Structure 1
């Protein structure tokens, strides 16, 4: 088994975490913060937009089951990569679309996928592409959030539709237990 990490930001980390937890080949998903200038930031600090951090997920996956390219193709279908610092009603740099690559191979694949996705979207892709910076795990209450709080308002009206879209679009890639 060959595991690899992907670090992605595309709006609220609860949305990305909920989808990737259901994806075949994904071993672990963790919500966190990356890309800013404050060490060990809190959720409150990140939310006020002054830290420079984005809400991200780190996805550990078995690249013999699913490729990094497939991880990114799913990423581009579960968030809007054309809105700068915004996903729906979530506004601010902490919600930006960003791929933090782990090495030159991931960078190359990400550039290829971004170029391909440019033909799919009606507006230019604004997803940042940067080397992975220092990563900070989010507070424990953010981990597995959707699984623990599926009826919470944001989860019911924002996260659940993204998970549903993922299940429908990628039904052959959903873990059987999901």
Structure 2
């Protein structure tokens, strides 16, 4: 087994992206957090205000022998709308932008290739950015949110199941049992 690698992705609400990535074979854990802004150690309330410049994001810990970074990016692109600028559905603001935060040159090249593939498949219009930033874990109550409180949250119940269905339909061989 290879050493665990990390990927940082922002695709709107981190609860939604975390729920999807937690269902992917080869992913050992997912941490929700904030990245891409100016404020050190921001709080959820500060990030939600849109004033810090951070995106809600997830740090995905994965086994590259089981799933590649490129495959994670394909799943990421398919389970959110990379053509919506600074929003996902009813979540509006730069904190909900579509962005990839590569951790090295190889990931940056894969991110560029993923956006190019997506633009070709969609006839253009992808607004996903490639950015740098400092990672800040979100508060504890945001971690594993779908597995706990999210199952009782009307917003999550409306938004997450369709994303999980898309994952299961489009990536059947990459979904945990």
Give TM class, smaller chain. Answer: over 0.9
5+ residue gaps in structure 2? none
Q: SS state of the match for residue 119, structure 1?
A: helix
Mean Cα deviation higher: 27-36 or 112-121: 112-121
Output the CA distance in 2 between the equivalents of 1:168 and 1:84: 26
5+ residue gaps in structure 1? none
Q: How do residues 72-151 of structure 1 correspond to structure 2 at under 5 angstroms?
A: 72-131=73-132, 133-148=133-148, 149-151=150-152
Output the CA distance in 1 between the equivalents of 2:123 and 2:31: 31
Partner of 2:15: 14
Partner of 2:158: 157
Q: SS state of the match for residue 176, structure 2?
A: coil
Output the CA distance in 2 between the equivalents of 1:45 and 1:151: 24
Q: SS state of the match for residue 110, structure 1?
A: helix
RMSD over equivalenced CA pairs, Å:
1.0
Q: Deviations over 1:127-163 (max 9, x none)?
A: 11023x2100001111111111313101110112111
How far did 1:119 drift?
1.6
Partner of 2:51: 50
> Does structure 2 conserve the Cα–Cα contact (< 8 Å) formed by 1:99 and 1:129?
yes
Q: How many residue pairs align between the two structures?
A: 175
Partner of 2:169: 168
> Does structure 2 conserve the Cα–Cα contact (< 8 Å) formed by 1:98 and 1:128?
yes
Q: Deviations over 1:41-66 (max 9, x none)?
A: 11000000000000000001000100
Partner of 1:66: 67
Partner of 2:27: 26
> Does structure 2 conserve the Cα–Cα contact (< 8 Å) formed by 1:150 and 1:160?
no
Output the CA distance in 1 between the equivalents of 2:56 and 2:20: 15
> Does structure 2 conserve the Cα–Cα contact (< 8 Å) formed by 1:27 and 1:62?
yes
State TM-score, norm by structure 1.
Answer: 0.95
